[in-house]
């Protein structure tokens, strides 16, 4: 019985790790493709010749100029990848308390990263929100497609 329980636990941990790797890879791939397509200028390069551009306007593709790859924020998306740690306490006795704590810790981490990118003049708030949203959407899809299946 103990050996079967250990095998099930190992399989569950393996699926958590696979989900984590998939979430990181897919979210960062999506964000980098979006950066090329949007071509939105960063906050620090705005002047008389480069004007503010709304987040919903496509001006790309932009392949080489990093100052025109503001939307969405890659750093915020990468920091949101930590959300996969919320899968670990699923099978523990007090999993709700642990899961709530991990979601709170994840939210604080994402918010602090987003604020630091805004304060550094690298992104607008819409850039950071979109970066986090991409990762959360990928997490939700992977979680319900692979992990909960």
Residue with tokens 């992104």: 123
Residues composing the chain: 149
List the structure tokens of 40: 């939105």
Predicted pLDDT of residue 1: 46
pLDDT band at 3; cut points 50, 70, 90: very low
Cα distances from 131 to residues 8, 14, 117, in angstroms, run: 35, 27, 11
Residue, of 88 and 138, whose pLDDT is higher: 138
Q: Is the pLDDT of residue 97 over 90?
A: no
pLDDT single digits (tens) 42-80 = 888 888 777 878 888 888 788 888 888 889 999 999 999
Residue 108: half-sphere exposure toward Cβ, Cα within 13 Å? 6
Backbone angles phi, psi at 86, to 5 degrees: -70, -10
Q: Is the pLDDT of residue 29 over 60?
A: yes
The dihedral built from the CA positions of residue 25, 135, 124 and 101, taken in this order, carries a sign that is: negative
List the structure tokens of 132: 């986090």
Percent share of the chain, pLDDT over 90: 46
Is-contact 17 120, C-beta < 8 A? no
What pTM, to 2 d.p., does this model score? 0.82
Please provide the average confidence, as pLDDT, over all residues in the chain. 85
Q: Which one, of 41, 30, 55, lies nearest residue 121 by Cα?
A: 41
pLDDT band at 96; cut points 50, 70, 90: low
Predicted pLDDT of residue 63: 83
pLDDT single digits (tens) 5-26 = 555 567 777 888 888 999 999 9
């Amino acid at each position: 019985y103990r050996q079967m329980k250990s095998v099930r636990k190992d399989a569950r941990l393996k699926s958590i790790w696979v989900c984590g790797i998939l979430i990181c890879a897919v979210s960062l791939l999506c964000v980098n493709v979006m950066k090329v397509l949007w071509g939105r200028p960063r906050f620090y390069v705005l002047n008389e010749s480069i004007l503010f551009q709304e987040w919903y306007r496509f001006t790309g593709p932009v392949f080489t100029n990093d100052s025109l790859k503001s939307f969405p924020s890659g750093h915020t998306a990468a920091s949101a990848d930590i959300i996969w740690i919320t899968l670990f306490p699923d099978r523990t006795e007090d999993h709700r308390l642990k899961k709530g704590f991990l979601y709170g810790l994840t939210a604080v981490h994402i918010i602090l990263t987003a604020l630091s990118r805004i304060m550094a003049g690298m992104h607008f708030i819409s850039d950071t929100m979109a970066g986090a949203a991409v990762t959360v959407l990928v997490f939700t899809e992977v979680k319900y497609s692979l992990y909960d299946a």
